[in-house]
Structure 1
Amino acid sequence: MMKHLILIVMPFLLLMGCNTGPAEATQQEELEANVMVIHDDAMAKMGDIYKLRRNFRSLRDTLAAQQADTATLQALQQQIDELNQADEVMMVWMRNYSAPDTLQHEQAMNYLQQELQKIERVQTIMDSTIEAARQTHQQYEQQK
C-alpha cells in the first residue's frame, strides 16, 4: 500500500516542483518593470535638466556681460556643473544597463536588484540637483 501511495504522490510532488518557472519569470518581469518605471521617470526629468542648464547659461552669460562679481558667476557655473553631472549619471547608467535576458533566474534577480539600487540613486541625484537648481534660479529671478 505504501508503494502505491508513493507512486501516486511522487508525480504530484515533481509537478509542484516544476511550477516555480512561471512564478520566477513573473518575479523577474516585475522587478525589471520596477527598474524601468524609475528609469522612465528619470528620463522625463532630463528635459528639466536641459531647460535649467540652458537658463543658467543664459543668466551667467548675461551677468558676465554686465561684469557681475566673480562669486555670482562661479555659483552659476557650479549649478551648471551639477546639472551636467546629474545628466551624466543618468547617461552612464543607461550605457551600462543591459536586460538580463541571458542570465539564470537567480543571477538575473541579483543583477536587477543591483540595477534597481543604482537607478534609485540616479533618481535621487537628479531630483536633488533639479530642486536645488530651481531654488537657485528662483532666487535670481526674484532679484531682477
Structure 2
Amino acid sequence: MSNHLIMKNIFNSVSCVICIVLISFSCSQSDNSTEELRDEVIAIHDEVMPKMGELKSMRKDILKISENLQQEDSLGNTEKIQELESLAERMDQAFDGMFVWMRQYKPAAEEVSDEDYREYLIGQKEMVEKVNQDIRSTMAEARSVLESKN
C-alpha cells in the first residue's frame, strides 16, 4: 500500500468521524432547543396559572360593584356599568382562554418531525403568551377599579 493510499484512507476516516460528530451535535442542539422551547411555553403557563382563582374572585368583585351601581342609579351609571360588565366578560374570556389552550396543548411530539414539533411549540408559545397577557391585563384593570373603590 502506498503512502498516498494510506493518507487517503486516514483522511476519509477522519472526515467520517467529523461528520458523525457534527450530526450528533446538531441533533443534540435541536433536542435541547426544542426542550428549552417547551420549557419556555410551560413557564409562561406556570406564571399565571396560580392566579386563576384570584382572577375569578376579582371578576366577582367587579360584578358586585356593577350590581351596586345598578341599584343606586341604573340610568345615571349606565356607562360605568357597561364598562364593568365588559371587563368582567374579558376576564371570563381570559379565564376560558387558559383552559382552551391547556386542552389543545400537546407536551410531547407525537409522530412528527423535530422541525414540525418545534414549529408547533413556537405557535403554542405565541398562544400561551396571549393567554398570559390577557389574564395579566384584565387583572391589572380590575385591580385598578377595585383599589379606586376602597
| Distance apart, 1:121 and its partner CA | 1.6
Gaps of 5+ in 1: none
1:127 and 2:136 are equivalent in the alignment: yes
| Distance apart, 1:56 and its partner CA | 1.5
Gaps of 5+ in 2: none
1:87 and 2:95 are equivalent in the alignment: yes
Find the aligned partners of 2:63 and 2:132 in 1 and give their Cα distance.
23
Query: Which residue of 5, 10, 14 maps to 1:5?
Result: 10
- SS in structure 1 opposite 2:106? coil
- SS in structure 2 opposite 1:12? helix
| Distance apart, 1:67 and its partner CA | 4.3
Report if the CA contact (8 A) 1:100-1:111 is conserved. Answer: no
Query: Which residue of 28, 35, 42 maps to 1:36?
Result: 42
If the length of structure 1 is used for normalisation, what is the TM-score? 0.84
User: Between the two proteins, what is the percent identity of the paired residues?
Assistant: 26
Q: Which residue of 1 aligns with 2:147?
A: 138
If the length of structure 2 is used for normalisation, what is the TM-score? 0.81
Find the aligned partners of 1:71 and 1:53 in 2 and give their Cα distance.
18
Q: Which residue of 1 aligns with 2:57?
A: 51
| Equivalences, count | 141
